[in-house]
């Protein structure tokens, strides 16, 4: 039995753990949080992600180490885990941690990106506004996620406020691409170099937060192009594991937004919606097992559950709707779970998504309109 | 010949002016901007919107006064134009200028809104986060437009920054409604009380900016409900002119976001896509003429042109695509024009929208990938 060490024990770690139940593996996690979601699938070392002691123990306990989020110290892992197999390659992790390196890599691999400039001063930002136009999106180079560390600048009067809000330097200004939908492409490559690519996924964000993913995407005609871009990335890193790229779609162009060297929120539908989930395939890849079939088994959608869970008595009314509860304390703003819908055709799926959204919005405001009358005003 | 005075001479004023060419009217505008778009359709009084002199002259030159945007002083108009007919009613304008009054009106008319709280202190905001949950959307009560004066608060750590950024008081916190599309409903009522309602319009925003409208909306099954809400508003104000309400759609619920007592960006498609445009019907309404047929002539979409115009040699390749150039200086971030597509079915329309979006994104970055390599980095 192989033992897999995972840095991070959130919901992605939990779902990797569930996927491992089909394989001859066990898990150990490194995560300082109290009661993290993955604690139901293996022991958790309760130490900081970048602690030498934690990483050393993880490496000695495990045959192979992987990670489930990007906010970890590459240099600490390199220092402590020099004799340990770590997948995906740390080069991919390092580059994904800096939007500038990430864009430069995309460009060097002929993967188009929206026009951008580096911003380290007010003058840089004024020049960028002239060069790439307004609106523009100002982003911190490091550690942005879920739309945090970003500001949309609509006119010149807002430039200096946005600059101040984001810290004034180590920023990227990107052209605001107006006409698009957003898709993600998820692939997997094992040690021996087999590659499989999931159907393209269409993602619906609101305010930078992923709310719904649908697969296969309507834009699945772009799948061949997405696969070409993914293969460039896989080859560049001699990559092992699951890799995700998020793209903006504009006509028949794909503009790369960012990549994640890990399983991805937009791939949760693969648990029930594909023959083999992204989680099982990530494990298969890093264990150098044959990869599982990535074909879809229907038309799937995934709805994130943010801040609160649906009512306990939610009547799913169908065996093609799957509720995932990560077992987190319902802290506001947190991703607490997701719902997957699998249907035989897109219209059926979308009708179910609509019905679910109605239930979720209604439960956020259970007593109806009376509840939202403001008595203080 | 009747003379119509319009406060504001932007693109809405310009399109009202063009619509007037079918009617026996002429126009005079009040707008301090140099070279405003509507100057091609009538004389412009170059005085501030709230100047007594400007308003007095407008009132004395015109048989009926209307306005093309909300950021005008109701008290100045009431003071100066007491003996002038002003449509839509100033009560509607006053209420639309304050998000709190607006929500209270919706509620009093049994039109559902997302749960919200008034925010005048850090304590209010903490209470709101507890009551309505996170994420939440914090908005200034007055003068927000195009997503300005808004912040999405994802977790508790961001509460105080968001509060500071928006000025600390006179704010509204709204529940972040996760699962929706956005639609607008446009109707018109003339002095004698005839009412017509355009098909429901689906709006695609990015970062709070309207980029594409499509009509009739896929959610047109909600048209009867939208009409009920519109009629409540029209009756309440004894309204005259075009009225727009924006809604969030969640399942078979419509949650009101805001209303505009005027012609609306999401209704520009009506120029070619409906038998009578919102602009002509606004004029007919305030002149108490019979209203024109609001039936759609096909499946329409409208793409806003923001910051830059398409290339001069844009090959529209079809006589069902209409380019509108407002003749503005191309200042960054500005709405400079729009394109309307009219097709016989939604799939055709959407294919054309996709092709146009490709052209528009390509022209923003004309020389391709080489243009976006950052030489300074």
**Binary contact (B306, A152; C-beta < 8 A):** no
Scan residues 12-71 of A and list those with Cβ closer than 8 Å to B: none
Query: What pLDDT, on a 0 to 100 scale, did the predictor assign at position B259?
Result: 97
| Percent with pLDDT over 70 in chain A | 92
**Binary contact (B176, A359; C-beta < 8 A):** no
Mean pLDDT (chain B, rounded): 89
Residue B42 has pLDDT above 70, yes or no: yes
- Give the chain A residue nearest B177 (alpha carbons): A361
Query: What pLDDT, on a 0 to 100 scale, did the predictor assign at position B367?
Result: 37
B109 touches chain A (CB under 8 A): no
Query: What pLDDT, on a 0 to 100 scale, did the predictor assign at position A144?
Result: 57
Residue B365 has pLDDT above 80, yes or no: no
3 state DSSP class of B350: helix
Enumerate the residues of chain A whose CB falls inside 8 A of the CB of residue B113: 369, 372
**Predicted confidence (pLDDT) per residue in A228-246, tens digit:** 999 999 999 999 999 999 9
**Predicted confidence (pLDDT) per residue in B276-311, tens digit:** 999 999 999 999 999 999 999 999 999 999 887 887
pLDDT-derived band at A71, boundaries 50, 70, 90: confident
Query: What pLDDT, on a 0 to 100 scale, did the predictor assign at position B119?
Result: 96
Query: What pLDDT, on a 0 to 100 scale, did the predictor assign at position A368?
Result: 36
**Binary contact (A115, B365; C-beta < 8 A):** yes
Query: What pLDDT, on a 0 to 100 scale, did the predictor assign at position B181?
Result: 86
Provide CATH 3.30.1490.20 ranges for chain A.
Answer: 115-175
Residue B245 has pLDDT above 80, yes or no: yes
Q: Which of A135-139, A307-311, B129-133, B313-317 has the lowest mean pLDDT?
A: B313-317
- Give the chain A residue nearest B366 (alpha carbons): A115
Q: Which residues contact B265 (CB under 8 A, 6 or more apart)?
A: B210, B213, B304, B335
Secondary element (H or E) of residue A45: strand A44-45
CB of A106 closer than 8 Å to CB of A256:
yes
**Predicted confidence (pLDDT) per residue in B139-164, tens digit:** 999 875 555 678 888 888 888 888 98
Provide CATH 3.30.470.20 ranges for chain A.
Answer: 181-364
Alpha helices, H only, A97-187? 99-108, 122-132, 159-165
Alpha helices, H only, A81-158? 90-96, 99-108, 122-132
Residue B374 has pLDDT above 70, yes or no: no
Query: What pLDDT, on a 0 to 100 scale, did the predictor assign at position B110?
Result: 96
Tokens for A16, please give them: 């990797």
Q: Which of A42-51, B82-91, B248-257 has the lowest mean pLDDT?
A: B248-257
Q: Which fold has domain B115-175?
A: Dna Ligase; domain 1 (3.30.1490)
Query: What pLDDT, on a 0 to 100 scale, did the predictor assign at position B220?
Result: 74
Query: What pLDDT, on a 0 to 100 scale, did the predictor assign at position A319?
Result: 62
**Binary contact (A333, B156; C-beta < 8 A):** yes
pLDDT-derived band at A282, boundaries 50, 70, 90: very high
A208 touches chain B (CB under 8 A): yes
CB of B185 closer than 8 Å to CB of B201:
yes
**C-alpha closest to that of B139 among B111, B112, B176, B183:** B176
Query: What pLDDT, on a 0 to 100 scale, did the predictor assign at position A199?
Result: 97
> May I ask the CATH class of domain B181-364?
alpha beta
A347 touches chain B (CB under 8 A): no
Provide CATH 3.40.50.20 ranges for chain A.
Answer: 2-86
| Percent with pLDDT over 70 in chain B | 92
Scan residues 165-194 of B and list those with Cβ closer than 8 Å to A: 165, 175-180
pLDDT-derived band at A250, boundaries 50, 70, 90: confident
Per-residue pLDDT, averaged over A123-134, amounts to 92
**Predicted confidence (pLDDT) per residue in B333-356, tens digit:** 789 999 999 999 999 998 888 888
Q: Is the ipTM of this complex over 0.90?
A: no
DSSP letter for each residue of A16-37:
HHHHGGGTTEEEEEE--SSS-G
Query: What pLDDT, on a 0 to 100 scale, did the predictor assign at position A372?
Result: 29
Q: Which fold has domain B2-86?
A: Rossmann fold (3.40.50)
Residue A47: CA atoms inside 13 Å, Cβ hemisphere, count?
A: 16
| A19 Cα to chain B: minimum distance (Å) | 29
Residue B317 has pLDDT above 60, yes or no: yes
Scan residues 264-323 of B and list those with Cβ closer than 8 Å to A: 303-304, 306-308
CB of A28 closer than 8 Å to CB of A62:
yes
């Amino acid at each position: 039995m192989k033992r897999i060490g995972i840095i991070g024990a959130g919901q992605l770690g939990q779902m990797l753990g569930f996927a491992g139940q089909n394989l001859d593996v066990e898990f150990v996690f490194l995560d300082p949080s109290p009661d993290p979601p993955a604690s139901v699938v293996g022991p958790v070392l309760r130490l900081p992600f970048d602690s030498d002691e934690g990483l050393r123990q993880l490496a000695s306990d495990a045959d192979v180490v992987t990670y489930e989020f990007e906010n970890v110290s590459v240099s600490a892992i390199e220092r402590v885990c020099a004799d340990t197999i770590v997948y995906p390659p740390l080069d991919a992790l390092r580059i994904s941690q800096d939007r500038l390196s990430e864009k430069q890599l995309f460009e060097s691999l002929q993967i188009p990106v929206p026009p951008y400039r580096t911003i380290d001063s007010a003058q840089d930002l004024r020049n960028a506004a002239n060069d790439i136009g307004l609106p523009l999106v100002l982003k911190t180079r490091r550690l942005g996620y879920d739309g945090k560390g970003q500001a949309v600048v609509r006119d010149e009067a807002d430039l200096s406020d946005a600059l101040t809000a984001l810290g004034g330097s180590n920023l990227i200004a990107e052209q605001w691409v107006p006409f698009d939908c957003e898709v993600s492409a998820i692939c997997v490559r094992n040690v021996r170099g087999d590659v499989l690519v999931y159907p393209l996924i269409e993602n619906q964000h609101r305010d930078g937060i992923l709310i719904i993913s649908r697969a296969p995407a309507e834009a699945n005609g772009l799948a061949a192009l997405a696969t070409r871009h993914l293969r460039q990335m896989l080859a560049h890193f001699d990559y092992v594991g699951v890799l995700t790229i998020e793209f903006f779609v504009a006509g028949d162009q794909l503009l790369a937004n960012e990549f994640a060297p890990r399983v991805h929120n937009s791939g949760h539908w693969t648990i029930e919606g594909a023959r083999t989930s992204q989680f099982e395939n990530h494990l298969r890849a890093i264990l150098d097992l044959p990869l599982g079939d990535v074909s879809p088994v229907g038309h799937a959608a995934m709805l994130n559950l943010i801040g609160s869970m649906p009512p306990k008595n939610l009547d799913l009314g169908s065996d093609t709707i799957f509720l995932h509860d990560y077992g987190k304390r319902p802290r506001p703003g947190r991703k607490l779970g997701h719902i997957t819908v699998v249907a035989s055709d897109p219209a059926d799926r979308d009708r179910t998504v609509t019905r679910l959204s109605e239930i979720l919005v209604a439960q956020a405001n259970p007593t109806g309109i009376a509840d939202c009358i403001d008595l203080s005003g």
